[in-house]
Amino acid sequence: MVRELEKALSLPRPVCAILAARGLHDGAAAKAFLRPRLDALHPPERLTDAVRAAERLSRAIEGNELVFVHGDYDVDGVCSAALLTSVLRQLGGRVEPFVPHRVRDGYDLGRTGVQRAKAAGATLLVTCDSGIVAHDAVRHANEMGIEVIVTDHHTPGDTLPPAYAVVNPKRSDCDYPEDTLCGAGVVFKILERLVRERTGSVEALYPHLDLVALATIADLVPLRGENRILAHYGLRYLARTTRPGLRALLQVSGVDGGADARLEAGQVGFQLAPRINAVGRLGDAGDALELLLTDDPRRATELARALDRINTERRDEDGRTFDDAIHRLTGTFDPDRDFGVVVAGEGWHPGVIGIVASRVVERIHRPVVLIALDGDSARGSARSIPELHLHDTLTECAPHLGRFGGHRQAAGMDLSPDAIPAFGDAFNAAVRRRLPDGIPAPLLRADLELAPEAVTDELHHWLGYLGPFGMGNPRPVFLARGAELSGAAREVGRGHLKLRIRGRGELDAIGFRLAHRHRPDRVPSRVDLAYQIRTNEYRGRRTLQARLLDLRPPLEG
């Protein structure tokens, strides 16, 4: 099979072996994967209510109605709102964009959003990345004489909100081939239909894929199928975007852009997205929305720098909250008893508890809910392990919760502080029922055995065609058995493990946060390594580097 792919593709054997291991067994399927095509996107007409939504938006443009676009305060919600606003304005529509303030307005479409739409004189309200469980708010808008289009990708409840149109690939009556689109992806599908109907072509929509890629990667949806196509082309448009706000954000993030630049999904996920998320967590997400919509380069630079400063504050807040959460767990966490973990704390900022919950999951390998207490209110954020569907689990705990929503790996909720002990017991019991054989041990699976001497610039180049990498399409992991180290291992930075591996010459290797698991003075001169191939740039010189994921003494025999 691998040999056949080598003949069909003329690519290095390791690349073909990875393609085969990921189910791409014949040349045609592999070529389609390696060279995604925009004309392979599914017709938007297959997405339930997408045509109805597009036709209503078209009537709003024709009738000069004011459209109130209601986003959300994370990257997906902000990008979705900016995408819809930009394209509607490009088509001649009148638009008032809005994203709620996390603390002041709360999650999802609520009365604040409806009242803002009424005050603006809107006759049509469109939600982006939100609204699927906002039944009361949609009903309130209808009473105010405002029609509502809900666009969302979160899990619906038993009934849909009473909106003019509800566009969500997770609807039970929707047979769209892929239900993993992010909020911006759902908006893009509606706009495909709208732009084609009004202009006869969708090509004018493609430059807006910069926002779709940013949202798709940041929201951690699987980078397979349609999401892979959108991210692949969106990264190209993002690298050479003409939006002053994104150009300024690229600059303050230290990410190179331009006509010849190539952006990776990791740069979006770890450098661009956190700065947009940070302002939604600790400040006003309206600043991020303004950044994506402004035409003024000077204002764009001002906003991008502000987002950068807030991101630094967010990192500090993350650290304090994480340390406090771990301290609260010390002495109380019992791995044999606690399948699902709930931790609450006074003074925690509700904007960072989701990030911190992810870090706690990494530390204890359990589904985790962190709850920020503030007087008589409590707001929680949950993160899961791969084996547990979080939203379904929380549904079992609904009697103890107020409003909640989310998807498989992440969720948010409001609840009464008095309900926290009972909710903690219910959550633990629900996780235990869903994982009756216990919490599965975390596994690190290698795609291929690859000796360090096989790591070359050419191989790294061709491996890039397997990207963009992320959820559902992880960066390849290689296993090197009995790799020989050059010199002693050492600790650098904050707990990072630094090695040099003998190969073709010597290959630098770094394992972030591995020094606390593998003391440098106890690392033997030969080790088995699980690693990825990355590049490292230092003083303008770019070299290959092994990114260590784990190591062990060589197995005997």
How sure is the predictor about 165, in pLDDT bands with cuts at 50, 70 and 90?
very high
Q: Within this chain, do residues 396 and 290 fall inside the same structural domain, yes or no?
A: no
CB 514 within 8 Å of CB 497 = yes
Q: Within this chain, do residues 389 and 495 fall inside the same structural domain, yes or no?
A: no
- Tell me, what's the pLDDT at 295? 97
Total structural domains within the chain: 3
Q: 388, 405, 434 — which closes off a domain?
A: 434
CATH of the domain at 266: 3.90.1640.30
296 found inside a domain: yes
- Tell me, what's the pLDDT at 104? 82
Position 433 pLDDT exceeds 90: yes
7 found inside a domain: no
Query: Mean pLDDT over residues 438-464, rounded?
Result: 92
Residue type, 188: F
Closest CA to 40 of 227, 239, 222: 227
Q: Within this chain, do residues 277 and 416 fall inside the same structural domain, yes or no?
A: no
35 found inside a domain: no
Q: Within this chain, do residues 293 and 364 fall inside the same structural domain, yes or no?
A: no
Q: Within this chain, do residues 286 and 156 fall inside the same structural domain, yes or no?
A: yes
| Residue-number span of the structural domain to which 126 is assigned | 44-305
Q: Which of 58-62, 78-82, 108-112, 127-131 bottoms out in mean pLDDT, i.e. has the lowest? A: 108-112
Q: Within this chain, do residues 289 and 361 fall inside the same structural domain, yes or no?
A: no
3-class secondary-structure state, position 487: coil
How sure is the predictor about 419, in pLDDT bands with cuts at 50, 70 and 90?
very high
Position 90 pLDDT exceeds 70: yes
233 found inside a domain: yes
How sure is the predictor about 306, in pLDDT bands with cuts at 50, 70 and 90?
very high
Q: Within this chain, do residues 155 and 228 fall inside the same structural domain, yes or no?
A: yes
Query: Mean pLDDT over residues 525-529, rounded?
Result: 94
| Residues in CB range of 224: below 8 A, 6 or more apart | 180, 472, 473
Position 557 pLDDT exceeds 50: no
pLDDT digits (tens, 9 = 90+) for 190-204: 999 999 999 999 999
17 found inside a domain: no
Position 310 pLDDT exceeds 70: yes
- Tell me, what's the pLDDT at 406? 82
Q: Within this chain, do residues 391 and 458 fall inside the same structural domain, yes or no?
A: no
Q: 305, 323, 355 — which closes off a domain?
A: 305
pLDDT digits (tens, 9 = 90+) for 33-81: 999 999 999 999 999 999 999 999 999 999 999 999 999 999 999 999 9
DSSP per position, 17-83:
HHHHHTT--SHHHHHHHHS--GGGSPPGGGSTTHHHHHHHHHHHHHTTPEEEEE--SSHHHHHHHHH
Q: Within this chain, do residues 147 and 53 fall inside the same structural domain, yes or no?
A: yes
How sure is the predictor about 556, in pLDDT bands with cuts at 50, 70 and 90?
low
- Tell me, what's the pLDDT at 431? 97
The residue ranking higher by pLDDT, 25 or 144, is 144
CATH of the domain at 423: 3.10.310.30
Q: 434, 465, 488 — which closes off a domain?
A: 434
Position 209 pLDDT exceeds 70: yes
- Tell me, what's the pLDDT at 258? 55
298 found inside a domain: yes
Query: Mean pLDDT over residues 154-166, rounded?
Result: 94
- Tell me, what's the pLDDT at 48? 98
CB 499 within 8 Å of CB 469 = no
CATH of the domain at 492: 2.40.50.460
490 found inside a domain: yes
Q: Is the pTM of this model over 0.85?
A: yes
Q: Within this chain, do residues 274 and 347 fall inside the same structural domain, yes or no?
A: no
443 found inside a domain: no
Q: Within this chain, do residues 119 and 186 fall inside the same structural domain, yes or no?
A: yes
Closest CA to 181 of 215, 145, 147: 215
- Tell me, what's the pLDDT at 504? 75
Query: Mean pLDDT over residues 261-278, rounded?
Result: 91
Q: Within this chain, do residues 427 and 483 fall inside the same structural domain, yes or no?
A: no
